[in-house]
Structure 1
Amino acid sequence: MSHYLQAMWAIVARELAKFMRQTGRLVSALVRPLLWLAVFAAGFRNVFGMAIAEPYDTYISYDVYIAPGLIGMVLLFNGMQSSLAMVYDREMGLMRLLLTAPLPRPWILLSKLVATAVLSLVQAAAFVAIAWLLGTELPIWGTQTPHVLLAAVAGALMLGSLGLLLSVHIKQLENFAGTMNFVIFPMYFMSTALYPLWKLEESGADWVYQIARFNPFTHAVEWLRFALYGQDPGLSPYIVLATLALCFGLASWGYDPQRGFGQLAKRGGGGNGGPPGAGG
């Protein structure tokens, strides 16, 4: 177990060190949600009145409502970006070597997933701090703090595992943009990140309402939102954890040595069983 934990720490530390060298990565991760908070939320503050409904016990402004959804946006985009890095590393980077290491492949993938979640949480914490400076305060500190942390960690792991699963099916970097457009935007906009479910139902957008109800991202955001106010999130934690387990299980299956990208070693062998380049 100590060997396994050492390997996990090495992967997490490498990702953190790489992140610290890429200062533009943090800035780019924060620009998108901060623009939504400073521009979109400000422009619609008086248009979208939020009625008193769970988990709120009083009237709230629109920027306070969408703040948990914007935290989810940070987690979502970093989870998807990790799948891009995974595709690159798998083809020509460190993961190409790690996948042949004498460690169980699910453990290597779990280590990569933990590293992704850590980076997601760092970026989410930076967003919360800047949002507070802009005047959007969230009730993070208090007796509900452990629940908030649990919801954030579970959401980061779920979205990271989804990105890991997508990396199984993305064969080339050129296919990444199209895949992301069919995942990120539908998952984000067809959720409760920007508007509550009851508004969707009330407006008559029944098909969007039904999709949002079963969208795992909706439940990640709702778990975080309810945790912030010390309320019971209902079935959301179970759905988030079940999605996490399903995506990670399928990703581990896809990276199995006998399937999918388990054939990387054979591909790297030059096609005739010899070392790279032996085919010539």
Structure 2
Amino acid sequence: MSWLTALRAIALREFLRFLGQRGRFIAALVRPLVWLLVFAAGFRAALGLSIIPPYKTYITYETYIVPGLCGMILLFNGMQSSLSLVYDREMGSMRLLLTSPLPRWWLLFCKLLAGTTISILQAYAFLAIAAAFGITMPWPGYLLALPALLLAGLMLGALGLALSSFIKQLENFAGVMNFVIFPMFFLSSALYPLWKMAESSELLRDICAVNPFTHAVELIRFALYAEVKPDALGWTVLAAAAFMALALWGYDPARGMVRRKR
């Protein structure tokens, strides 16, 4: 019961914080909508998309980038959650949370799960807006996308947790975000298919292929069409486990004691 109480308390705190930051919700939707409604109009003529899985017919560029923009929401919200962790640590509330008798991994997972749930709600809000503009997916895909969004959100949120354990001052966070978010987003299949990348550079295509964000986006893309991409699923799970292990190591109190002794 104490574990569930901690989960409920942490989740409630995250939701109340989110409700108090309405600009955060609007910003989370404005970014992908700008790409969907503005940039896609210009790229539509320049980028011809062939029939590639999971698509059975030719598609517009707007349809192609919707899964990538869902991934953008998860990525930015994961980094936003890590920003709140740095703030909580500076204010002392994070230190108070981690002194709980409950396992540290459970407390961090509760924080991660609460942030991911908020990201999923934002992603579905974006999908609803996209559908209002005529960009729809098969109806079963909207339901089957839920586990894909959950797994991708956990992976990207775990990355944010890992980063927050190494960022010591709130002022340094913006620089770290620029070196993580933008390369991860643009060096992926979110905006362009990998075969299109290969036309300009094989090296660039290979970099995109090993990017964990690419596999998260492809997992969402196939799920929206009621299909499973096994390799994307496997790499996303592996990346989520690796990032979570790094976060637990970063928040290890023994590691902090070693630092103080030095």
Same fold, TM exceeding 0.5? yes
Q: TM-score under structure 1 normalisation?
A: 0.89
Residue of structure 1 aligned with 2:220, choices 220, 224, 228:
224
| 2: CA distance, partners of 1:23 / 1:98 | 25
Give 1:257 shift: 1.6
Residue correspondence of structure 1 range 1-280 to structure 2 within 5 A? 2-139=1-138, 141-142=139-140, 144-201=141-198, 203-260=199-256
Amino acid at match of 2:170: L
* RMSD of equivalent CA atoms: 1.7
| Over 6 Å off, 4+ runs | none
Q: CA deviation at 1:263?
A: 8.1
Per-residue CA deviations over 1:176-200 (Å, capped at 9, x if unaligned) read: 1111111000000000000101111
Deviation at 1:249, TM superposition (A): 1.1
Shift of 1:86: 0.5
CA–CA distance in structure 2, aligned partners of residues 185 and 207 of structure 1: 18
Deviation track 1:108-141 (CA, whole Å, cap 9, x = no partner) reads 10010011101111111111111112222122x2
CA-to-aligned-CA distance 1:129-171 (integer Å, 9 cap, x gap): 11112222122x22x4553111110000000000000001111
Q: Is the 8 A contact 2:73 2:122 kept in 1?
A: yes
Query: What is the percentage of aligned positions where both structures have the same residue?
Result: 55
For the residues of structure 2 that align with 1:103 and 1:238, how far apart are their CA atoms? 30
Which residue of structure 2 lines up, in the alignment, with residue 272 of structure 1?
none
Alignment length, in residue pairs? 261
Gapped runs of 5+ residues in structure 1? 268-280
Q: Name the structure where helix makes up a greater proportion of residues.
A: 2
Deviation at 1:44, TM superposition (A): 1.6
Give the letter aligned to residue 8 of structure 1: L
Larger Rg: 1
C-alpha displacement of 1:96: 2.2
Q: Normalising by structure 2, what TM-score? A: 0.95
What residue identity is the alignment partner of 2:35?
W
Q: Secondary structure at the match of 1:45?
A: helix
Quote the Cα distance in structure 1 between the aligned partners of 2:34 and 2:258. Answer: 43
One-letter code aligned to 2:149: A
Q: Which runs of 5+ in 2 are unaligned?
A: none
Q: Residues 11 and 69 of structure 1: is their aligned pair in 2 closer, same or farther, counting only changes over 3 Å?
A: same
